[in-house]
Amino acid sequence: MIERRAGEARGPLEGIVVADFSRVVAGPFATMLLGDLGADVIKVERPGQGDDTRGFGPPFTGGESSYYLAINRNKRSVAWDLASDDGKGKAVALAQRADVVVENFRPGTAARLGLGYEDIAAVNPRVIYCSVSGFGTSGEGAALPGYDFLVQGVGGLMSITGDPGSEPRKVGVAVVDVLTAQFAANAILAAIFERERSGLGQRVEVNLLSSVLSALINQASTYITTGTVPRAMGNRHPSIAPYETLRAKDGPVLVAVANDAQFVAFAKAVGLSALASDDRFRSNADRVANREALVEVLEAELVLRPAADWVSRIQAAGIPCGVVNDIAQAFDLAEHLGLGPVVHLERDSVARPAAAADPSPQSQVRNPMGFSRTPVSYRIAPPRLGEHTSAVEAELGLA
């Protein structure tokens, strides 16, 4: 197991062993979250190749892709060939000892390897077995491969992203994978909690399509309650105004006025107090109905001053607003606010061959969860392929 450092607090999932047979993004991100919470995550990879994300580059850092590094800390890597009897036997032995098994094999593969839920539960009835898929594990969707970009498109997200009348756009990150990972981690934690009462494990399932449909929240609700199909609106909100970007002298200002009281304060802050008593803009529903007229009046005033000036004035009135940052500026903001957005993990050069040793710190994005007694931890940098094979095999009595 990954040992706690001296003085390091006990994580909420310390003692939980996770057998991670997943690859790419959704499964590995979910297991990293469990690892951050203290679980001992053992990542099973193909010898010589490993997780697909190891090759998702450039960019590469220290021989590893930035993509792989983003979602694989707090794990130990073993390289086992599941096509061989030896590798298959080792994988089964790990799953039989694990508290949690996470997999995203193609349909039928897990059962063929002796790693299906029924196989493992028969000898490990306390196992929490999580299956991650693109379109479900049964029915016609079971045979369909699922990747984030594909599901952003077929799941409707791209249809509401971008400017009106423009080509549909994906979100700039694998957001469906991230959402699915969050659902998977939540389901696993709930099953672990329930196991404390029943003493029994269970199978939990998540899929990309169901995850994105759930995450469409108000847009999905609009469709299923009214039959109206939402369309792309650029930076505008379909149900709130002004809740969008507005043109200032040197660039856009982000304004999020979510209720009528905020609108009164906002109008005063921009020197247009009369707007709050204008019949066209008194209520949020009025402002949504008359959005074009409202934006025209606001931008006629906002273009007279730089965006930073308006942000200062509007924030002083207690109204959420800002400018559009790039990612570097976003990290600078988080650092300025004292959020400490980046953590550094020291590479452990003892566990790998000297030629692969990399003593430089590995920068990682901080986990956003905070705990007063059992904080998340950063115990091990994303592992080299097969880095912990010998140690894990020894622990399983397989060496």
Q: Is residue 79 part of a domain?
A: yes
Distance CA(42)–CA(317), nearest Å, equals: 51
Same domain, 298 and 380: no
Q: Is residue 227 part of a domain?
A: no
Q: What is the domain count for the chain? A: 2
Please give the mean pLDDT across all residues of the chain. 94
Q: Is residue 262 part of a domain?
A: yes
At 143 the pLDDT is 87
Least confident of 142-146, 228-232, 295-299, 354-358: 354-358
At 70 the pLDDT is 97
Position 106 pLDDT exceeds 50: yes
Tokens 């949020």, residue?
284
Q: Is residue 230 part of a domain?
A: no
At 77 the pLDDT is 98
Q: Nearest CA to 318 among 277, 263, 271, 273?
A: 263
Host domain of residue 352? 17-215+337-395
Position 359 pLDDT exceeds 70: no
Give the domain CATH number at 286. 3.30.1540.10
Same domain, 303 and 344: no
Give the domain CATH number at 188. 3.40.50.10540
At 351 the pLDDT is 36
Q: Is residue 223 part of a domain?
A: no
Same domain, 301 and 344: no
Among the candidates 273, 294, 322, a domain finishes at 322
177 is catalytic: yes
Same domain, 28 and 127: yes
pLDDT tens for each residue of 147-206: 999 999 999 999 999 999 999 999 999 999 999 999 999 999 999 999 999 999 999 999
Same domain, 55 and 194: yes
Same domain, 101 and 166: yes
At 1 the pLDDT is 60
Instruction: Indicate which residue of 20, 40, 51, 177 is catalytic.
Output: 177
Q: From residue 113, how far is each of 73, 105, 151 by CA, in Å?
A: 27, 10, 28
Give yes or no for a contact between 36 and 377, defined as CB atoms under 8 angstroms apart: yes
At 6 the pLDDT is 55
Cα-based angle 363, 42, 399 (whole degrees, multiple of 5): 125
Same domain, 263 and 175: no
Model confidence at 356, pLDDT cuts 50, 70, 90, reads very low
Q: Which residues pair with 256 in a beta bridge?
A: 243
Least confident of 143-147, 227-231, 286-290: 143-147
pLDDT tens for each residue of 109-145: 999 999 999 999 999 999 999 999 999 998 899 989 8
Same domain, 80 and 203: yes
Query: What percent of the chain is helix, strand and coil (3-state, nearest 5)?
Result: 40, 15, 45
Same domain, 34 and 179: yes
Same domain, 297 and 354: no
pLDDT tens for each residue of 7-31: 567 899 999 999 999 999 999 999 9
Among the candidates 262, 290, 322, a domain finishes at 322
Count the Cβ atoms, other than its own, within 10 Å of residue 83.
9
At 62 the pLDDT is 85
If phi > 0 it is left, if psi is from -120 to 50 it is alpha, else beta; for residue 179 that is alpha
Same domain, 117 and 204: yes
Mean of the pLDDT values across residues 243-260? 97
In sequence order, what are the residues at sequence separation of 6 or more whose Cβ sits closer than 8 angstroms to the Cβ of residue 319? 255, 256, 257, 262, 265, 266, 269
Burial code of 170-180, b = ≥16 C-beta within 10 A, e = fewer?
A: beeebbbbbbb
Q: Nearest CA to 305 among 375, 391, 247?
A: 247
DSSP category for residue 353? -
Q: Is residue 3 part of a domain?
A: no
Positive or negative: CA dihedral 145, 148, 151, 155? positive
The token pair that represents 282 in the structure block: 């008194």
What's the predicted TM-score (pTM) here? 0.92
Q: Please spell the DSSP secondary structure of 80-134, one letter per residue.
A: --TTSHHHHHHHHHHHHH-SEEEE-PPTTHHHHTT-SHHHHHHH-TT-EEEEEES
Same domain, 44 and 177: yes
Mean of the pLDDT values across residues 305-319? 97
Position 246 pLDDT exceeds 70: yes
Among the candidates 322, 355, 380, a domain finishes at 322
Q: Is residue 237 part of a domain?
A: no
At 360 the pLDDT is 61
Q: Is residue 190 part of a domain?
A: yes
Identify the helix (H) or strand (E) that includes residue 246: strand 243-247
If phi > 0 it is left, if psi is from -120 to 50 it is alpha, else beta; for residue 394 that is alpha
Mean of the pLDDT values across residues 321-346? 96
